[in-house]
Amino acid sequence: MNAPVQIDAAAHQPKARGPAAALKRAIAETQSKDELFLLMANRTRAVAGGQQVFVFMGAPSPRIVAVSGMPNINRQSPLVQDFERLIALLFNSGELAQVRKFGLGAASANVAPNLQTYPFANLLWTPLLGGNGKPVGGVLHAALERWSGPRAEFLASAAIACGEKLAEFSPPPESWLQRLKATWRGNRKKAVALAALLAVLCLCMPTSMSVSAPFKVVSQNHLIVSAPVEGVIEAILVRPGETVKQGQTLARFTDAARRNEVAIAQREVDLSQAVFRRASQLSFEDNEGRRQLATSLADVAIKQARLQLAHEQSSRATVKAEKAGIAIFSDEKALMGRPFSIGERIMDIADPRSIEFEIALDIGDSIALEKGARTRLFPDSSPLISQAARLTQLSYEAEPDAYGRLSYRLVAMPEDGGKPTLKLGTGGTAKIYGRTVPMAFYLFRRPVTAMRQWLGV
């Protein structure tokens, strides 16, 4: 490898004219590091010649941040990876601390064998110096012909100007945190004692015990619509979430058998009335007709009662809304064609103006809660919007939820009777705040509970 090139930067800066002066002015006018790197990769090649320019940054393993003629860097490119490996080796060995010319063949024989076929084998390295005078990167110029002295001096002068501009973009050499570390570096015992004291103070700070649980918006006043008869639903006449009026038909059961019962009961009434009329006519002629008159009249009353019962059962096949509200059920197709028994739940009719929040608190997350505990609700549909609420009901014991997990059922109401902003059926996460406890209890409650259960204490 060739000897380093000695460059007197101060001798060249004031004499820069023409393209050199224009390049330095362009460097001074850059507004960002990326703009500066692209300028060094493309403008220096246009002025000083050469076939390809690579800009490296970062110590002790510089990485390519700009390549001439390329807007972006492909990190998967074998050429980029081989050059980064080669420059990192030379940079760490201290051979690139100043301007240096070297040939690619001798330098890359054992590091990146693939670079043996790289056509531009004559390289010139110009380091970029940081504020402490040490190189933080550099510019690698590749060419077919050897680099002459004037061109090397020009590129070294441009690298010095680039390093000075780069220092303007760099952060301050030392932050307040670094100064604090330097202050306490000489006395580690005092630093450890201060850290321990701060940790104890933090653990003793009071904080509200809190727990998170899923919630769902339900109606406070809702009506359960159940099956009035046994049978199969023939049609659902409303859709989930539809607003219904009082007396509106909701569903209709298959009532072919009930219609037949009405027809049969009507025939029996007609027959009993005919027998009664015949007995009435005979009662004027003989005693036998008078004896049959009371029996026929009683039979007519029985048959009419059966007819009225058949009409009532037939009318129950049509389910109507007893109050206005919103129809809540999962899917109309899942209800149609399904056999129902008397009293089985079909749907709910909820009042959207009167809502409450139903919270399922997992038994493993239970904490000491009381009525009136502060609650904050975060719906999944609008996580940036929250609703304040207060607990109004707490279940005494845990019960299996829809997924088979034991959980406590909690009910919360909007705080201070505020107007609810969430719709029925909205779900999300509720954060429930309990009593005030030390931070240590809040942080170590679960580990202590698990250890106690494991030890059986």
Write out pLDDT tens, residues 397-453. 888 876 677 888 888 888 765 555 677 778 888 888 877 777 777 777 777 777 766
What are φ and ψ of residue 19, in 5° steps?
Answer: -60, -35
Q: How confident is the model over 332-351, as a mean pLDDT?
A: 80
Summarize pLDDT for 280-320 with one digit per residue, the tens.
766 666 666 566 666 777 776 777 777 676 666 666 677 88
Which residue has 């129809």 as its token pair?
327
Q: Does domain 352-455 have CATH number 2.40.30.170?
A: yes
One of 3.40.1160.10, 3.30.1660.40, 3.30.450.40, 3.40.50.300 is the CATH number of 9-169, namely: 3.30.450.40
pLDDT at residue 56, as a whole number: 92
Q: Could you give the angle at which helices 188-204 and 176-185 cross, rounded to 10 degrees? A: 120
Summarize pLDDT for 89-129 with one digit per residue, the tens.
888 888 888 888 888 765 566 667 777 778 888 888 889 88
pLDDT at residue 3, as a whole number: 47
pLDDT at residue 11, as a whole number: 37
Summarize pLDDT for 253-289 with one digit per residue, the tens.
876 556 666 667 677 767 777 776 766 766 666 666 5
Q: Could you give the angle at which helices 439-455 and 188-204 cross, rounded to 10 degrees? A: 80
Share of the chain above pLDDT 70, in %: 78
pLDDT at residue 15, as a whole number: 41
- Is 103 in contact with 8 (CB distance < 8 Å)? no
Q: How confident is the model over 146-160, as a mean pLDDT?
A: 86
Do 9-169 and 352-455 fold alike per CATH? no
Q: How confident is the model over 379-385, as a mean pLDDT?
A: 80
pTM of the model: 0.42
Give bridge partners of residue 361 from the DSSP assignment.
Answer: 408
Better-predicted residue by pLDDT, 23 or 418: 23
What are φ and ψ of residue 255, in 5° steps?
Answer: -125, 35
Summarize pLDDT for 187-226 with one digit per residue, the tens.
667 777 778 888 888 878 877 778 888 888 887 777 788 8
The two structure tokens encoding residue 450: 């698990």
- Is 159 in contact with 128 (CB distance < 8 Å)? yes
pLDDT at residue 12, as a whole number: 38
Tell me the range of 29-38, 163-172, 270-279, 289-298 where mean pLDDT is highest: 29-38
pLDDT at residue 54, as a whole number: 92
Spatial separation of the C-alpha atoms in residues 52 and 361, rounded to whole Å:
66
Q: Can you give the residue ranges of every domain in the chain? A: 9-169, 255-316, 352-455
